[in-house]
Amino acid sequence: MNHPFDYDALRRETSWDLARQELDCPAGSPVNIGRICIDRHVDAGRGDKTALIHEDHAGQLREFSFRDIKELSGGWAAFLREQGVVELDRVCLFLERGPELYISFIGILKLGAVVQPLFSAFGEEALFQRIDDSQAKVVITQRKHVGKVRKMRERVPSLETVIVIDHLPGKRPLREGEVAYEMMSSRVGDFVPQETADESPSVLHYTSGTTGKPKGALHVHSSLFAQYLTTKMVLDLKDDDIYWCTADPGWVTGTSYGIIGPWAMGITQVVLDAGFSSKRWYATMARHKITVWYTAPTAIRMLMKDGAALAREHDLSALRHMCSVGEPLNAEGVLWGREAFGLDFHDTFWQTETGAMMITNLPGMTVKPGSMGRPFPAVRAGVIDPVSGEELTDPNTVGMIAIRPPWPSIMRTYWNNTPTFYSKFLRGWYVCGDQASIDEDGYFWFCGRDDDVINTGGHLVGPFEIESALLEHEAVAESAAIGKPDELNMEVVKAFVALKPGFVGDDDLELSIMNFIRKKLSPLAMPQEIEFVDKLPKTRSGKIMRRLLKAQESGEEIGDTSGLEDD
Ligand code: PRX
């Protein structure tokens, strides 16, 4: 019998402890994400179930059962131990989305080390900053990316070993401190996972802020309880689902919901290791009979561009549930989803720092197109005054999104940056740094970020990273990077540059600057456009007023300029 959706009842019945009970992890017992996600299922007689279906760019499939992953991740853990990795050491993953990425992730956690996943698209400088900060001991990479690691290696003395997963003997030799590892021939079925505890560090994810270097949000093994329960209740996964999370594990969505949550539930996941095309995505969904799909608004907008008819040309009849995360999901996206798939996209709001979904559209809940939904039933969320920290309880009042700690997956600190971690809390709230209002029905409506961080295609890019790269060019005196509104990616990076005397801002110089920073930044952070200006708007204290540039760019009201230098 179908019960009508009762949000209040769900709030009464839901607590994070439910996850502990269902995963049979009473308080005080060991919690190891690797064991719970993989070994547990094998020990319970479910080892033959498919855990991972991997499709590469050529359409080749590789399947791995939970038993395969238990043995192969055991192989990784044993090998890393041989390499001298011990509990709490950081092991960085700098890999494309091959099976090795997913399986070594589990192996590192079984060993009790901390896994630091990074996008393989990162340039040498982006890689350096994050490894220099984490002081990783090992980087696991592949031939295609080893060059970038070599370039920055001298600058990171902590880095002892670089593991190359696809080395071809006889081809370009490995250098000192590099070792080859062939995952498929290294099974260890009896590796005993470390008895990590609730608060043992697990995953270190870097995220961008307005100022300074990227910040490493440190998570712990018990974060799993939040990822498990939200996976179960929001993604609505059931034992026979075939689930597809389109996110790269370099991004928190790709680990919390592309590895941990679904595998904690023993679900079969599909990974597509290929570039985006609408046709390819639909073909993948049809081929694997995907039932539950978690994706991002930029991807949805790209699919929209190719029309709903294309979706309907494919047999997507298995699909029963769709969710979205990373940026505001426009109402149009939801309406288009109905037309293309006959289903609602369920938006979810959360962050690297929150580790799991905070504001959600639960299955069965009425979706209001354009709204992020309501707090996950175990989450207490509100909007607050940014200065007083007072909760704003009048409906439709804009404030800062804030969540009441604790919850299992809240970051435990920013690596090497405790002051910034503490600055995220106000009057007992964790403050997300985003603005929203809440309507009469308790639905949250996103208004915008409260800082200068650029959200391009769901990926956060700090202006500081781009400006620093620009400043290294001989012609650049000053620079400011902002997010310029963009139909597809929500924002793209635009840079404003003031030149040193003697340089002329022409096309040749723009090209020279672009080529120069391309080597340093990831493709995501690359400006689409550089505008040469005489000088940048600044506050009297010398801070660049990116807000002003941004307003100019989007033709908005410029707002309060009383702090401006030249008033
Ligand atoms: O600005 C919000 C936006 O993405 C930020 C978090 O980015 P990140 O830490 O990279 O994690 C993204 C994946 C969990 C937020 O502070 N954001 C995320 N989800 C939404 C969103 N903005 C609007 N609507 C969302 N559903």
pLDDT tens digits along 43-61: 999 999 999 999 999 999 9
Pairing outcome for strands 138-141 and 90-94: parallel
Distances (CA, A) of 385 to 311, 342, 405, 422, 434: 43, 39, 17, 18, 12
Closest alpha carbon to 451 in 351, 527, 325, 332: 351
Give the global pTM. 0.93
- Cα 522 to chain centroid, rounded: 15
What number is the average pLDDT over the span 402-423?
A: 97
How far is it, in rounded angstroms, from Cα 546 to Cα 528? 17
CA of 357 to the centre of ligand 1 (A): 10
The arrangement of strands across the sheet holding 161-164 comes to 178-180, 161-164, 138-141, 90-94, 114-118, 201-207, 215-220, 413-414
> Order of strands, edge to edge, in the sheet holding 321-325?
61-65, 50-56, 268-273, 242-245, 292-295, 321-325, 345-349, 359-360, 374-375
Q: How many CA atoms lie within 13 A of 370 on its CB side?
A: 7
pLDDT tens figures, 286-337 = 999 999 999 999 999 999 999 999 999 999 999 999 999 999 898 999 999 9
Poorest-pLDDT segment among 274-278, 382-386, 555-559: 555-559
In angstroms, the CA 510 to CA 494 distance is 12
Which band of pLDDT confidence, cut at 50, 70 and 90, is reported for residue 547? confident
Q: Superfamily assignment of 454-553 in CATH?
A: ANL, C-terminal domain (3.30.300.30)
How many alpha carbons lie under 13 Å from residue 25 in its C-beta half-sphere? 25
Domain ranges for the chain: 7-422, 454-553
Question: Smallest Cα–Cα separation from 465: which of 524, 543, 551?
Answer: 524
Q: Whose CA is nearest to atom 5 of ligand 1?
A: 351
Does residue 237 contact residue 274 with C-beta atoms inside 8 Å? no
pLDDT of residue 17: 97
Model confidence at 470: pLDDT above 60? yes
Summarize the confidence of residues 344-371 as an average pLDDT. Answer: 97
3-state SS, residue 331: helix
d(CA 244, CA 560): 45
Looking at residue 566, what is its pLDDT? 52
Instruction: Work out the number of other CB atoms within 10 angstroms of the CB of residue 535.
Output: 11
- Measured by CA distance, the residue closest to atom 21 of ligand 1 is 327
Percent of the chain with pLDDT over 90: 84
Q: Which atom of ligand 1 is found nearest the CA of 350?
A: 14
Sheet strands (E) in 227-283: 242-245, 268-273
Q: How far is the CA of 252 from the centre of ligand 1 (A)?
A: 10
Cβ pair 305, 488 in contact under 8 A: yes
Determine the atom of ligand 1 nearest the C-alpha atom of 459: 10
Say if residue 275 is exposed, middle or buried (CB neighbours under 10 Å; 0-12, 13-18, 19+).
exposed
Neighbours of 177 (CB within 10 A): 11
| Distance of CA 432 from the midpoint of ligand 1 (Å) | 9
Q: Structure tokens of 415?
A: 């690596």
Q: Is-contact 396 439, C-beta < 8 A?
A: yes
Confirm if 255 and 205 have CB atoms less than 8 A apart.
yes
Label residue 561 by pLDDT band (50, 70, 90). Answer: low
Tell me how crowded residue 389 is: count the other CB atoms within 10 A of its CB: 15
Helix axes 507-518, 463-471, angle to 10 degrees: 110
Output the CA 459–ligand 1 centroid distance in Å. 8
Report which of 187, 224, 188, 189 is spatially closest to residue 203, judged by C-alpha positions: 224
Question: 562 pLDDT exceeds 70?
Answer: no
Residue partners of 261: CB distance under 8 A and separation at least 6: 227, 228, 230, 231, 232, 235, 237, 356
Q: Is 323 in the pocket of ligand 1 (CB under 6 A)?
A: no
> In angstroms, rounded to a whole number, what is the distance separating the alpha carbons of residues 100 and 193?
19
Residue listed under structure tokens 């880095």: 159
Residue nearest to atom 15 of ligand 1 (CA): 351
Rounded mean pLDDT, 500-517: 94
- Per-residue model confidence (pLDDT) at position 169: 85
pLDDT digits (tens, 9 = 90+) for 25-43: 999 999 999 999 999 999 9
Per DSSP, 544 falls in state: B
Tell me what the pLDDT averaged over the chain comes to.
94
- Fold: same for 7-422 and 454-553: no
CA dist., res. 537 & res. 545, Å (int) = 6
d(C-alpha 220, C-alpha 430), whole Å: 17
Which numbered atom of ligand 1 lies nearest the CA of 372? Answer: 26
Class of domain 7-422: alpha beta
Based on the number of CB atoms within 10 Å of its own CB, is 209 exposed (0-12), middle (13-18) or buried (19 or more)? buried
SS3 state at 355: coil
Most informative mutation of 257, 323, 327 for ligand 1 (most atoms within 8 A of CB): 327
Establish whether residue 460 lines the binding site of ligand 1, counting it when its CB lies within 6 angstroms of any ligand atom.
yes
Query: Do residues 353 and 361 touch, judged by C-beta distance below 8 A?
Result: no
Nearest CA to ligand 1 atom 18: 326
Identify the helix (H) or strand (E) that includes residue 200: none
Query: In whole angstroms, what is the distance from residue 307 CA to residue 313 CA?
Result: 11
pLDDT score for 567: 40
- Report pLDDT for 554: 79
Mention every residue, 6+ apart, whose C-beta is less than 8 A from residue 223: 33, 202, 203, 256, 260, 355, 356, 408, 409
Ligand 1 contact via 449 beta carbon (within 6 Å): yes
**Ligand 1 pocket mutation pick from 118, 361, 434, 524 by most atoms within 8 angstroms of CB:** 434
Tens of pLDDT along 437-454? 999 999 999 998 888 899
The encoded tokens of residue 67 equal 């038993």
Which of 170, 195, 154 has its CA nearest to residue 25?
195
What whole-number distance in Å separates Cα of residue 134 and Cα of residue 431?
24
Higher-scoring residue by pLDDT: 364, 125: 364
Which of the four pLDDT bands, split at 50, 70 and 90, describes residue 557? low
- CA 291 to centroid of ligand 1, rounded, Å: 24
Q: Is 428 left (phi over 0), alpha (psi -120 to 50) or beta?
A: left
Q: Are the C-beta atoms of residues 85 and 112 closer than 8 Å to each other?
A: no
Ligand 1 centre distance from Cα of residue 449 (Å): 9
Q: Coil, strand, or helix at residue 113? A: coil
Token duo for residue 449: 């970020």
DSSP letters of 409-437? TS--EETT-HHHHHTTEETTEEEEEEEEE
The rounded Å distance from CA 462 to ligand 1 centre is 14
